[in-house]
Structure 1
Amino acid sequence: MTDPNRITLYYSPQSRATGTRVLLEELGAPYDLHVLNMKAGEQRQGAYLAINPLGKVPAIRHGDALVTEQVAITIYLGDLFPQAGLTPALDDPLRGPYLRWIAYYGASFEPALIDKFMQREPAPITQSPYADYDTMLGALEAQLSKGPYLLGERMTAADVLWGVAFSWTMMFGIVPKKDVFVRYAERMTSRPAFQRINAADDEMAAQHAAAAVG
């Protein structure tokens, strides 16, 4: 009998989908991978564009529900497996801040990072979705300094999203290696779930690279 809670994760190694897979592991969620070789351009082929017209991962399917966008996926999965304790309930005072900082990732952090990476001038502060880069990052630094997690003493699904994000962006030099960011990223990436997926990603990425060359 098929498990109605089983998730299909549309996936490529060493991409934004890595954080979603780590979250699934942290939640103890049953899932299957639908792997796309992005080096071979599989994410731009018709079969996957029918899943996500933007040709991006992650995406998940759960029963009849198809969910794209990393922020939406994080919220959806956390709520789907409340027994894991990584999601504040609707009547929990932390629910609002939890949603705030997950949304902040997609609405402010990502646009700021892309402008920074592309060395583009941001929009005027009154039109910019993130004010300016230093202000955007300063708000995160202030929040994380209350630590050890984004919402203080309690780890949530938001920390999986942000921990992986800080690890990658500091590695590529887009986010400065400030002590508070480094400690936070290390706290999250030292967890067994991240370690398992990181090792699996390395192996899968090497296979994809070899297949693309071949």
Structure 2
Amino acid sequence: MGQEPVVHAYFAPGACSRVMLHALEEAGLAFEGHPLALMRGEQKSPEYLAINPKGKVPALVVDGDLLTENGAIAWYLANRFPEAGMLPGLDDPVTAAQALGDLIWCGGTLHPIVRRMMRPALFNESDPDGTRALAAAELGVTARDLDARLEGQDWWYGDTWSLVDTYVAWAFSIAAICGFPLSEYPNLASHTKRLSEKETFKRVVAREKEAVATHDIPLPPGASL
């Protein structure tokens, strides 16, 4: 057997780095967690910028090599630990590319919509309420389509969980905190609840809660874990 890699995971409780943490749990990979308080700006501190110059979470350091961006980290872990079944069809070029496309969509389309709902003043200081409303309307169109996709199936790809499910559920849980009417989309609401009942996901949330308590990490107004 090869030597276990030395892994450091930089995350923020409640943030999209939850996708990375869930991947690490599913892979059964030992790692040292480094929580950051985004509300205190620790992601922009000189100490963290020396690790990840992008000033964002998540960041994963494996044997000294830095990996950033949720989709890339998820793709790396799913391919390095294929036995964990975190993405479908990785041995087929077309199916694997479709899964990669779904991860990119989560990070490049879905995530920014939710971010405009959570932090609208970052995008429009003069009219944050208007920015949030526009984002909510855009998310409503997406939610309608995803609710239809999930009709009659438990997960994004049917009967089998994937990291795409974790990313989608995270996005809509954040949107719900911002007032998005998730209950109006019953399949999406059930999907989010279903993920919350997964044992590996429970361990992720427990880790985040421990980080909040141990490091006195503030959460955004109205947010909870």
TM-score bracket, normalised by the shorter chain, equals 0.7 to 0.9
- Within a 5 Å distance, the mapping from 1:85-104 to structure 2 comes to 85-87=85-87, 88-91=89-92, 94-104=95-105
Q: Secondary structure of 2:161's partner? A: coil
Show the counterpart of 2:222: none
Show the counterpart of 1:194: 201
Q: Deviations over 1:123-163 (max 9, x none)?
A: 9xxxxxxx944433333223222521101122222222223
Contact conserved, 2:74 with 2:163, CA < 8 A, in 1? yes
Contact conserved, 1:166 with 1:175, CA < 8 A, in 2? no
Cα 1:33–1:114 shift into 2, 3 Å = closer
Contact conserved, 2:35 with 2:211, CA < 8 A, in 1? no
Amino acid at match of 2:106: Y
Show the counterpart of 2:178: 172
- Within a 5 Å distance, the mapping from 1:18-167 to structure 2 comes to 18-87=18-87, 88-91=89-92, 94-117=95-118, 118=120, 119-120=130-131, 132-167=138-173
Q: Distance in 1 between matches of 2:208 and 2:64?
A: 28
Q: Which moved more, 1:46-55 or 1:179-188?
A: 46-55
Q: Distance in 1 between matches of 2:180 and 2:68?
A: 25
Q: Distance in 2 between matches of 1:25 and 1:164?
A: 16
C-alpha deviation, 1:210, in angstroms: 7.4
List runs of 5+ in structure 2 lacking aligned partners. 121-129, 219-225
Q: Secondary structure of 1:120's partner? A: helix
Show the counterpart of 1:185: 192
C-alpha deviation, 1:169, in angstroms: 2.6
Report the TM-score, using the length of structure 1 for normalisation: 0.80
Cα 1:111–1:13 shift into 2, 3 Å = closer
The equivalent position to 2:216 in structure 1, one of 201, 209, 214, is 209
Q: Which moved more, 1:59-68 or 1:31-40?
A: 31-40
Report the TM-score, using the length of structure 2 for normalisation: 0.77
List runs of 5+ in structure 1 lacking aligned partners. 124-130
Cα 1:39–1:121 shift into 2, 3 Å = closer
State percent identity of aligned pairs.
27
Q: Secondary structure of 2:10's partner? A: strand
Q: Distance in 1 between matches of 2:74 and 2:106?
A: 11
RMSD, aligned CA? 2.9
Q: Distance in 2 between matches of 1:186 and 1:76?
A: 27
Contact conserved, 1:37 with 1:43, CA < 8 A, in 2? yes
Show the counterpart of 2:221: none
